[in-house]
């Protein structure tokens, strides 16, 4: 099987019995966890101290349900392509990996900010840059306001959004740099995703939508959005692309089930690595830059 996503007319083979089992486990895991966290978010908001959506537009249930259908459709386009070109096994690994990788990463940041005071009390040596101090009005780092389905504290539309943005950017990077090494293609994929976010974030955080709310600004901001957010977009897709292209080698070495476990283990280790990286970055930025800087065009 090809190690990268191509557009050469190849049709992947049907999955064998072991691959099918992995596909089922990932699929059921995604559905069950999404249902669980959706019920928790809407039915028992006090458990994770979900902030109120009072005054935030487009947050009624019919609207958020309809808005969730759009990323479903866009994700289907990429999943169908992946299934045909890479096979159901690798398509599902990509979907599950990007969904969980980003869902956990986003939720980790949201919850670290939400429970900053408790964590600060429990871990007095933890840097404020990691836990987030928040503004005077809202404590924490950031949080999402809109979504019908949820994975931990990240809306399904964000998790699926990460999947299809990652897939399309990695695919396009492979197409426009066919002879480049994996590292360069992964960098290009990360930059393509980050480039979209440079516009998407200022639009979606505007008063009209407030799709997510930043409670804490970084020392360096671009268009009033923390630089760490853009670094995060780049890093997540860059690292994911690097690991995903090694999946065929993992399968050859350990078989489909163990390779899937190893793949998700590597992603989880990377989550921790990213958290440490941003902790160090935040601490250094807070020491070196006393006042926040906003790199802006037209005052945005």
Interface with other proteins (CB under 8 A) = 5, 7-13, 70-71, 73-75, 77-78, 80-81, 84-85, 161, 164-165, 167-169, 171-173, 175-176, 178, 188, 191-192, 195-196, 198-200, 202-204, 206-209, 223, 297-300
In the complex, what is the shortest distance from the CB of residue 2 to other proteins, in angstroms, rounded to a whole number?
9
In the complex, what is the shortest distance from the CB of residue 79 to other proteins, in angstroms, rounded to a whole number?
9
In the complex, what is the shortest distance from the CB of residue 53 to other proteins, in angstroms, rounded to a whole number?
18
Look up tokens 């923390």; give the residue: 226
Kindly tell me which of 9 and 124 has the beta carbon lying closer to other proteins.
Answer: 9
Kindly tell me which of 28 and 300 has the beta carbon lying closer to other proteins.
Answer: 300
Three-state SS sequence of the chain: CCCCCCCCCCCCCCCCHHHHHHHHHHHHHHHHHHHHHHHHHHHCCCCCCCCCCCCCCCCCHHHHHHHHHHHHHHHHHHHHHHHHHCCHHHHHHHHHHHHHHHHHHHHHHHHHHHCHHHHHHHCCCCCHHHHCCCCCCCCCCEEECCCCCEECCEEHHHHHHHHHHHHHHHHHHHHHCCCCCHHHHHHHHHHHHHHHHHHHHHHHCCCCCCCEEECCCCCEEECCEEHHHHHHHHHHHHHHHHHHCCHHHHHHHHCHHHHHHHHHHHHHHHHHHHHHHHHHHHHHHHHHCCCCEEECCCCC
In the complex, what is the shortest distance from the CB of residue 199 to other proteins, in angstroms, rounded to a whole number?
5
Kindly tell me which of 85 and 219 has the beta carbon lying closer to other proteins.
Answer: 85
Token pair listed for 43: 């039915």
In the complex, what is the shortest distance from the CB of residue 286 to other proteins, in angstroms, rounded to a whole number?
27
In the complex, what is the shortest distance from the CB of residue 164 to other proteins, in angstroms, rounded to a whole number?
4
Pairing label, strands 142-144, 212-214: antiparallel
Kindly tell me which of 146 and 219 has the beta carbon lying closer to other proteins.
Answer: 146
Kindly tell me which of 14 and 118 has the beta carbon lying closer to other proteins.
Answer: 14
Distance CA 111, CA 151 (A): 13
In the complex, what is the shortest distance from the CB of residue 273 to other proteins, in angstroms, rounded to a whole number?
26
Kindly tell me which of 116 and 173 has the beta carbon lying closer to other proteins.
Answer: 173
In the complex, what is the shortest distance from the CB of residue 26 to other proteins, in angstroms, rounded to a whole number?
20
Kindly tell me which of 50 and 168 has the beta carbon lying closer to other proteins.
Answer: 168
Kindly tell me which of 27 and 202 has the beta carbon lying closer to other proteins.
Answer: 202
Distance CA 205, CA 218 (A): 15
């Amino acid at each position: 099987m090809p190690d990268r996503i191509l557009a050469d007319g190849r049709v992947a083979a049907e999955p064998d019995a072991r691959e099918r089992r992995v596909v089922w486990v990932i699929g059921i895991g995604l559905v069950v966890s999404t249902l669980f966290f959706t019920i928790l978010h809407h039915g028992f908001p006090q458990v994770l101290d979900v902030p109120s959506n009072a005054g935030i537009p487009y947050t009624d249930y019919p609207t958020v349900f309809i808005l969730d259908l759009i990323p479903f459709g866009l994700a289907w386009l990429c999943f169908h392509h992946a299934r045909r070109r890479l096979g159901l096994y690798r398509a599902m690994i990509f979907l599950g990996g990007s969904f969980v990788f980003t869902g956990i990463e986003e939720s980790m940041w949201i919850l670290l900010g939400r429970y900053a005071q408790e964590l600060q009390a429990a871990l007095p040596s933890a840097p404020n840059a990691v836990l987030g101090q928040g503004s005077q009005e809202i404590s924490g780092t950031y949080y999402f306001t809109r979504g019908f389905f949820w994975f931990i504290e990240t809306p399904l539309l964000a998790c699926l959004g990460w999947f299809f943005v990652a897939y399309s950017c990695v695919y396009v990077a492979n197409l426009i740099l066919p002879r480049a090494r994996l590292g360069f293609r992964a960098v290009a994929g990360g930059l393509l995703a980050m480039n979209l976010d440079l516009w998407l974030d200022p639009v979606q955080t505007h008063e009209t939508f407030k799709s997510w709310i930043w409670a804490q600004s970084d020392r360096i901001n671009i268009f009033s959005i923390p630089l760490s957010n853009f670094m995060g977009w780049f890093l997540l897709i860059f690292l994911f692309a690097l690991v995903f292209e090694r999946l065929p080698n993992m399968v050859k070495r350990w078989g489909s089930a163990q390779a899937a476990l190893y793949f998700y283990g590597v992603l989880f280790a990377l989550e921790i690595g990213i958290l440490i990286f941003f902790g160090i970055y935040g601490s250094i930025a807070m020491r070196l830059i006393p006042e926040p800087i906003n790199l802006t065009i037209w005052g945005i």
